[in-house]
Amino acid sequence: MPIESFLFDIHEGRPVEGFTLSAGGLEATLVAHGARLVRLMVPGRDGTSADVVLGFDRLADYLASDAYFGATCGRYGNRIGGAAFTLDGVRHGLAVNEPPNQLHGGPDGFDRRIWEAQVEEAENAVTFTLVSPDGDQGYPGTLTATTRYQLSDDGVLDIRMTATTDRSTIVNIVHHSYWNLGGHASGDLRDHRLTVRGGFTTPVGADLIPTGEVRPVDGTPFDLRGDVGRGGVGLGEALEAVGGFGFDHNWCLEGPAGELRPVAVLEHAGSGRRMELATDQPGLQVYSGGYLSEKIVGKGGQPYCRFAGLALESQRFPGSPNIGHFPSARLDPGETYRHRMQLRFRTS
């Protein structure tokens, strides 16, 4: 089917374009504000489709929210402790939006921008482009970033992020959809199962900044590798075991960074939907939506309770620019930052 283009909204006098891609029984709706995925219709075992991503119906609600629903986050996704880093002996102070730290690129991060869109009809894809000027939110260098969404007949949503710079900088662009395979309006995630192929995490302090330790998951609630024959770990029991607000932690993924490999599986027995995530990144942030509340009213007037959606953010490690033994987030002129995440949907 041809890509459908439409006007999603107007922001500060500028049109915010929207696009719907269809293939393989899936429908993905994207908008230029935040290079964002706002809707993904996926069929279940009985053929009934449900929208499996959390979000809003209106741009005004996205602007008023700090949940990052479906957004492309940058220039540095996740947290940088103290909202500062040193590169080549120069300290760069960043805009603070989670005092005293910076989260997801700052108060005016990439999720807050209107990206330029280019439709690739023959590839059933849309590429969004954003130019971030030197000094933007405190980061050095003029950065040209792209996010490309492609939907294919084999039930795969392929997301590719790139960046180039004219000055040495740091980059960690992440995709921030919240998934609920029962449907965005189906309640919490306790009836899902999750597998993460990672034997280590990077523990955090009270400020959610990594301490620099790399800790084995064996014998802890963070062991989400699953059991042979049972599939993934039940999220209900896992959330109860970890307590509090649930997961908001980085896993060190198995396999070589830089190569696309399978790293996580999310399953919902009730609908039969299964989502398989592959990425080329070294880390995966698992955020179980512990800070969501029914004060957040989403699509169709649906209140989103705690644990209503699961973000699976492939990434460089949080805090990497200030922790020397973590994978580097440095990008120099002449290089191209690349980040790929591939989401394959099946039924069982």
List active site positions: 176, 313
Residue appearing with tokens 């396999």: 255
**What are the φ/ψ torsions at residue 239 (nearest 5 degrees)?**
-65, -35
- Residue 305's Cβ-count burial label (10 Å; 0-12, 13-18, 19+) is middle
What's the token pair of residue 310? 């699961």
**Cα→Cα distances 316→62, 120, 138, 280, Å:** 25, 29, 19, 10
The single residue listed with the structure tokens 């040209």 is: 144
State the binding site for beta-D-galactose. 78-79, 176-178, 248
CA end-to-end span of the chain, whole Å?
A: 26
What is the residue type of 236?
G
Eight-state DSSP code of residue 119: E
Cβ-based neighbours of 256, under 8 Å, separated by 6 or more: none
The helix/strand/coil state of 266 is strand
DSSP state of 236: H
In 3D, which of 283, 266, 234 has the Cα closest to residue 344?
A: 266
| 3-class DSSP assignment, residue 123 | helix
d(CA 342, CA 338): 13
